[in-house]
């Protein structure tokens, strides 16, 4: 009887220790990084919100924190990764599958459907995509700026032979096939894909990373893509600087990655070392005052050869991962902005004044990028279209912020001489109609910058007690030197029905 009671007590003690052990040994420091997963672990949640109210999400946030920080989690992650790989031939990394010859492929639900050819676009969707791209093309054509679109391919498209046999294709046509066919045959866009060049080259060299990178081409494949792109650029600028394989010392080396610090994958990779000294210099600070998504991969380079054209490239990791140095050598001014900012293209063109605009996107991200562009607030309309409209009354507007600082005095702005770019944010209305306006422009010297107009501004709708005035916010991104040299600028508001414009609102520029 006593032994049974003792056993029960010991069992209870063991149970309490077992359920308490993860908490007792848990990591209590915020900002810790998981070595195996290469990410910041969840921080311990607060019982109160920043407004001083009870945090109703505390139980959920606590569970996330505990799952991330419980004792011995790192060792358990490594052990589970090894077990899944050795026993089942799988990886616990959710965005990666193992194909034949141990090729690793980036996956999610949509990418698998892409491969299976199960998510084909409708004719309506193709037309919408084409019209959205032609809107850019026509806008730039009116400015005399060539527009090139480059569609890059997923690893599964160039190396389908190593994809798992368990994932089967349905039909003979993919979403990308339909997209390419539509743009080539139904639009006037200068469009291309480096698919054929990559397929031809892969018989002699490896053009995508087999294992170290689950999603991208390697340096060799990237350089082939660069050469294909520059063929199109050369049609407009015959003297553009195009690098060749002869400009590099090319070597091979062994590259390695460890998945969750547990399973090692190796491959032979290519090193490209430029023989001559670079002619380009990176400019820093240009994007500090610009609200951009993925601003950390924005780049600006200036080349010693000022006879070369200036390029604005809107692209993704297929460019910024491996091709920034090559493009910097090819243009007198080279600006790269992540494609998640394609909804700001009109303003970026006004800011950078390029000779050519290049839009690059990888096939798996095309839907996402087009959704961003089709929801853009930009009008793609030059002020020249409205310049002869009659002028009526005084403008109803207010400049709230200047480069993220509150504006102290309306009508005057003090600009730091060291600034390269400034941002202007505020609100504007079509006062006569008591409504939001159609569009807005900033007149600086002989230039007219278009606004991103129509963003939510709750202060306006609340102050005027009119919910229809919510989307009255505006923003401009302007070259600081343009403002300083002009010494003044003005805001011009176009009425909602586009039948008149308001008298310009003048501002003086002072330097400090």
Q: Helices H, strands E: what count in the chain?
A: 15, 24
Residue 2: its pLDDT value, please? 57
Given a contact cutoff of 8 angstroms between Cβ atoms, the answer to whether 450 and 425 are in contact is no
Strands 147-152 and 190-192: parallel
Query: Residue 461 pLDDT > 80, yes or no?
Result: yes
Mean predicted confidence (pLDDT) in 257-272: 79
Q: What pLDDT band is residue 407 in, cutting at 50, 70 and 90?
A: confident
- Look up residue 319 and give its two tokens: 């460019």
Domains and CATH numbers, the chain: 23-88 (no CATH), 100-374 (no CATH), 389-511 (2.60.40.10)
User: Which tokens sit at 368?
Assistant: 């996402």
CA distance 353 to 476: 15
Question: 338 in helix, strand or coil?
Answer: strand
Residue 275: predicted pLDDT: 95
Selected residue with higher pLDDT from 82 and 470: 470
Q: Radius of gyration of the chain from Cα atoms? A: 28
Lowest-confidence region among 26-35, 304-313, 356-365, 490-499: 26-35
C-alpha closest to that of 509 among 424, 427, 383, 440: 424
The two three-digit tokens of residue 29, written as one number = 């420091």
112, 102 contact by CB (below 8 A): no
Over range 261-275, report the average pLDDT.
85
- Tokens 């139904």 belong to 186
Mean pLDDT (the chain) is 87
Read off the pLDDT of residues 163-201 as tens digits, 9 standing for 90 and up.
Answer: 999 999 988 899 999 999 999 999 999 999 999 999 999
Report the candidate in 245, 246, 192 with the shortest Cα–Cα distance to residue 219: 245
Query: Quick one: three-class SS letters along 267-292?
Result: EEEEEEEECCCCCEEECCCCCCCCCC
CA 52 – CA 36 distance, rounded (Å): 36
Per-residue confidence (pLDDT) for residue 39, from 0 to 100? 46
Q: Which residues pair with 509 in a beta bridge?
A: 413
Could you please report the per-residue DSSP string of 431-497?
Answer: TTTTEE-SEEEEEETTEEEEPEEEE--HHHHHHTT-GGGSS-EEEEEEEHHHHHHHSEEEEEEE-TT
Q: What is the pLDDT of residues 432-456, one digit of tens each?
A: 999 999 999 999 999 999 999 999 9
Q: What is the pLDDT of residue 37?
A: 43
Helical (H) or strand (E) element with 315: strand 310-315
User: For residue 34, what pLDDT band results from cuts at 50, 70 and 90?
Assistant: very low
Per-residue pLDDT reduced to its tens digit, 474-504: 999 998 889 999 999 999 999 999 999 999 9
């Amino acid at each position: 009887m006593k032994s049974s009671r003792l056993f029960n007590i010991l069992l209870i003690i063991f149970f309490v220790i077992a359920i308490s052990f993860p908490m007792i040994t848990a990591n209590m420091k915020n900002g810790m990084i998981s070595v195996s997963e290469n990410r910041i672990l969840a921080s311990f949640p607060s019982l109160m919100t920043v407004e001083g109210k009870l945090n109703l999400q505390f139980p959920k946030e606590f569970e996330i924190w505990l799952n991330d920080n419980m004792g011995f989690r790192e060792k358990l992650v490594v052990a589970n990764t090894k077990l899944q790989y050795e026993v089942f031939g799988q990886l616990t990394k959710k965005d990666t599958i193992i194909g034949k010859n141990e090729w690793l492929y980036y996956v999610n639900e949509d990418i698998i459907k892409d491969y299976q050819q199960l998510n084909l676009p409708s004719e309506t969707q193709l037309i919408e995509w084409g019209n959205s791209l032609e809107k850019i093309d026509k806008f730039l054509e009116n400015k005399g700026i060539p527009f090139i679109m480059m569609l890059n391919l997923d690893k599964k498209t160039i190396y389908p032979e190593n994809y798992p046999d368990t994932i089967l294709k349905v039909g003979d046509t993919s979403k990308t096939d339909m997209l390419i066919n539509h743009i080539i045959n139904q639009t006037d866009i200068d469009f291309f894909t480096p698919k054929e060049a990559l397929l031809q080259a892969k018989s002699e060299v490896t053009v995508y990373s087999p294992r170290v990178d689950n999603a991208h081409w390697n340096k060799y494949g990237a350089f082939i893509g660069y050469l294909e792109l520059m063929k199109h650029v050369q049609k407009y600028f015959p003297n553009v600087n195009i690098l060749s394989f002869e400009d590099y010392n090319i070597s091979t080396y062994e590259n390695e990655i460890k998945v969750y610090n547990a399973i090692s994958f190796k491959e032979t990779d290519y090193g490209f070392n430029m023989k001559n000294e670079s002619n380009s210099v990176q400019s820093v600070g240009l994007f500090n005052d610009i609200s951009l998504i993925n601003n950390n991969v924005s780049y600006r380079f200036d080349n010693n050869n000022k006879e070369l054209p200036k390029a604005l490239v809107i692209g993704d990791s297929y460019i910024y991962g491996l091709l920034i140095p090559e493009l910097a050598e090819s243009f007198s001014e080279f600006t790269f902005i992540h494609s998640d900012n394609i909804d700001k293209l009109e303003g970026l063109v006004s800011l950078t004044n390029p000779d050519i605009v290049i839009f690059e996107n990888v096939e798996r991200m095309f839907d996402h990028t087009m959704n961003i562009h089709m929801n853009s607030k930009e009008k793609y309309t030059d002020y020249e279209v409205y310049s002869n409209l009659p002028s009526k009354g005084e403008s109803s507007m207010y400049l709230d912020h200047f480069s993220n600082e509150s504006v102290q005095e309306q009508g005057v702005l003090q600009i730091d001489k060291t600034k390269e770019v400034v941002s202007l944010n505020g609100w504007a209305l079509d006062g006569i109609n008591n409504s939001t306006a159609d569009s807005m422009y900033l007149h600086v010297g002989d230039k007219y910058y278009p606004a991103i107009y129509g963003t939510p501004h709750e202060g306006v709708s609340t102050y005027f007690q009119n919910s229809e005035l919510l989307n009255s916010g505006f923003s401009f991104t302007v070259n600081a030197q343009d403002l300083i040299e002009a010494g003044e600028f003005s805001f011009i508001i176009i009425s909602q029905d586009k039948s008149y414009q308001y008298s310009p609102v003048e501002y003086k520029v002072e330097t400090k």
